[in-house]
Structure 1
Amino acid sequence: MFCNPEKIVPCRMTDQEEVICGYTEEVSTTRFVYISIGGIIALLGCVFNLLLLYLFTFRQLANSPPQLYPAILAFLDTLLCFFFLMIFVVDVNMIYNKSEYLFLLFHRYIIITFITAKLVQFLIPYLLMLGTLERYTWIDNKHNKMAILQPKYRPFTLGGLLLGAILLRVPSAMALTITEFRKCPDFFRTLAVDVEEWAQVNLLELF
């Protein structure tokens, strides 16, 4: 297949079938507008979740239920909104507006940001469950609470949850890399997120 920088598919040389351009999605005006609107909502989400974090942390009343898990949830939601800006909003802006600076910056942080975002997504449901259980025991006035809900065991509960999430996400983090395509004539396809060779081999053997 002959190389055509205008197309999305990777360009290959006819003889050696060598990939010379990375994969990049086209960004239409409609998509740019939708993601930009989503970016404004995500920005508002950051502000309001930070406000919630402040209220849960510094405005707790004596007769109010435990606020630790809701505070952590507000923090994780803030991160999720922030990661939306870093992953999706920057991505469509760098392509649509042809910003070389954003393109280079995006590929410097995208892997760690993507993995951290997946980690946050993994943690949120479990924090919701812990917060709900803790609120239930507080409303029900149970004295014999489960160990994971007792204040003195909270650091172990949170530490174990975080450690488990990290261990589950480490393999996928190690499998991703940024590949540089020096021969590509299109600047916005000279860098691309790729899978490490060892991970590709393992996937082929698995399937």
Structure 2
Amino acid sequence: MSSSEMNSTMEPPTNSTEEQEIIYCDEDPVLRLYFVTVGTTIATFGCACNLLLLFVFLTKNRHQWSTYLIFLAILDFLLCFLYVTSFGLESAAKYFRIHFLYDLIRLTTTYQFTLSKVVQVCIPYVLIAISAERLAWIGKIIRMRNRGSHRGSLLVCVCIAVLWTALRAPGFHAIDIYVYENGECDYFESMPIVSTNLTANPQYIQYDLLINFFHLFVSFCVLFILNLLIVHRLRLSHQNARRNSSCPNVVLSATKQMVLNEEKKEHKRLRCAIKTTAVVISTYLACNSIHFALYMMEMFSSHILKSEDGGFNMFYVITSDVGTILFVLCSTIRLFIYYKYNPDVKSALKTIPFLPCFAGQVNRPKTSAYECTMPLQTDKESPSSV
């Protein structure tokens, strides 16, 4: 859920005796029900996909997989799960008029919203950690099979989770649930989400703007630059392989054939890295672009998002729903990105007997997921790619 997903968030109703109290019932337009239904379907499928990834990472050659990939699958699962519980179950409770479910969702709304913010901001920084690790390995700065490599990546994951949980914690106090108890609204519209006085504090506004700047802009720039450096280093490696293949000192046919084979492998590694970079960057940009645009409008031109009654207009509600669905979709398709560009995941999925869609003869590709980021060297140390 993005920060713009507080579609129904209103200023708390005034209780002043000098002016009439404004009633904001928690009404959802019918069109939004369709968007939530689509999003819930995608999120449910995403939960299954990421549980499948976790099954592969934790049971199929456990030490082969990077700790970052496992942590990323957990975050993707949580994001999809929180969408189902926050939006899907809430809509189901309203539509089927299930009192206890509606009460339960509203009781945990602030916790779910805060956790979703933490999960969202952790995902790009885990991708940054994966890219930085791969770049360092390509540059021969680290060796992935060294003792303590998993321990170090686990420490990084813990630091990311703890840091962004602490930085996002103040947002827990920025929203609350307002309860109408006098029958002004239908029971399933009587607990709207409202913003607290904290959101009007200038210091909190500046703090929230800074956090979102690092979340949306800085993380994307760093991820983009790191992946450009990876492609650049692989391109240099490819050029070196071509020069070696044309070197006049290479006179033995067997040696020359081996160098030519290395050149072909370098070309495959470069192409694999470019495709992986394009997919990672494009999906991340797509899911953040709407979020970033809406957040800027919230901060600097909020009047164009408001309707005459003081609530958010239909444009804002629908656009924020689309932005959130893109986030969920990005986490859902991660399995298929791995299946397409990571041959090790593809091979592991084909060995699972209860997955007929992935079943088939396991033929290990000539260029493995490791080789997609592997410079010319004789050892077999290699990280799992994104």
Q: How much is the aligned-residue C-alpha RMSD, in angstroms?
A: 3.4
Structure 2: how far apart are the matches of 1:200 and 1:141?
46
Q: Helix, strand or coil: the match of 1:194?
A: strand
Task: Give the equivalent residue in structure 1 for 2:140.
Answer: 142
Deviates more, 1:97-106 or 1:72-81: 97-106
Paired letter, 2:100: Y
Q: Please list, as runs of the form range in 1=range in 2, the aligned pairs for 1:151-170 lying within 5 A after superposition.
A: 151-170=150-169
Q: Please list, as runs of the form range in 1=range in 2, the aligned pairs for 1:45-194 lying within 5 A after superposition.
A: 45-60=46-61, 64=64, 66-138=65-137, 140=138, 142-144=140-142, 150-186=149-185, 187-194=187-194
Change in 2 beyond 3 A, CA 1:52/1:22: same
Structure 1: how far apart are the matches of 2:89 and 2:127?
29
Q: Contact 1:175–1:196 at 8 Å: present in 2 too?
A: yes
What is the TM-score with the length of structure 2 in the denominator?
0.43
Task: Give the equivalent residue in structure 1 for 2:316.
Answer: none
Paired letter, 1:196: T
Paired letter, 1:43: T
Structure 2: how far apart are the matches of 1:204 and 1:18?
31
Paired letter, 1:163: V
TM-aligned CA deviation for residue 143 of structure 1: 4.5
TM-aligned CA deviation for residue 56 of structure 1: 1.3
What is the TM-score with the length of structure 1 in the denominator?
0.76
User: What CA deviation, in whole Å up to 9, does each residue of 1:32-89 have, x standing for no partner?
Assistant: 2332232122111111111101111221277x4x421111111111111111111121
Change in 2 beyond 3 A, CA 1:52/1:193: same
Structure 1: how far apart are the matches of 2:204 and 2:179?
26
Q: Which has the higher contact order (CA 8 A, sep 6+)?
A: 2
Task: Give the equivalent residue in structure 2 for 1:4.
Answer: none
Change in 2 beyond 3 A, CA 1:26/1:169: same
Unaligned runs of 5+ residues in structure 2 are 1-9, 207-386
Task: Give the equivalent residue in structure 2 for 1:31.
Answer: 32
Paired letter, 2:113: F
Larger radius of gyration: 2
Q: Helix, strand or coil: the match of 2:108?
A: helix
Q: Contact 2:199–2:205 at 8 Å: present in 1 too?
A: no
State the number of aligned residues. Answer: 193
Q: Contact 1:20–1:184 at 8 Å: present in 2 too?
A: no
Q: Contact 1:27–1:96 at 8 Å: present in 2 too?
A: no
Paired letter, 2:193: V
Q: Contact 1:20–1:181 at 8 Å: present in 2 too?
A: no
Q: Helix, strand or coil: the match of 1:106?
A: helix
Structure 2: how far apart are the matches of 1:205 and 1:111?
18
TM-aligned CA deviation for residue 203 of structure 1: 4.7
Q: Contact 2:26–2:191 at 8 Å: present in 1 too?
A: no
Structure 1: how far apart are the matches of 2:192 and 2:45?
30
Structure 1: how far apart are the matches of 2:133 and 2:56?
18
Q: Contact 1:56–1:71 at 8 Å: present in 2 too?
A: yes
Q: Helix, strand or coil: the match of 1:172?
A: helix
Task: Give the equivalent residue in structure 2 for 1:195.
Answer: 195
Change in 2 beyond 3 A, CA 1:9/1:176: closer
Structure 1: how far apart are the matches of 2:106 and 2:192?
8
Unaligned runs of 5+ residues in structure 1 are 1-7
Q: Contact 1:49–1:78 at 8 Å: present in 2 too?
A: yes
Determine what percentage of the aligned residue pairs are the same residue.
25
Structure 2: how far apart are the matches of 1:129 and 1:120?
15
Structure 2: how far apart are the matches of 1:76 and 1:204?
30
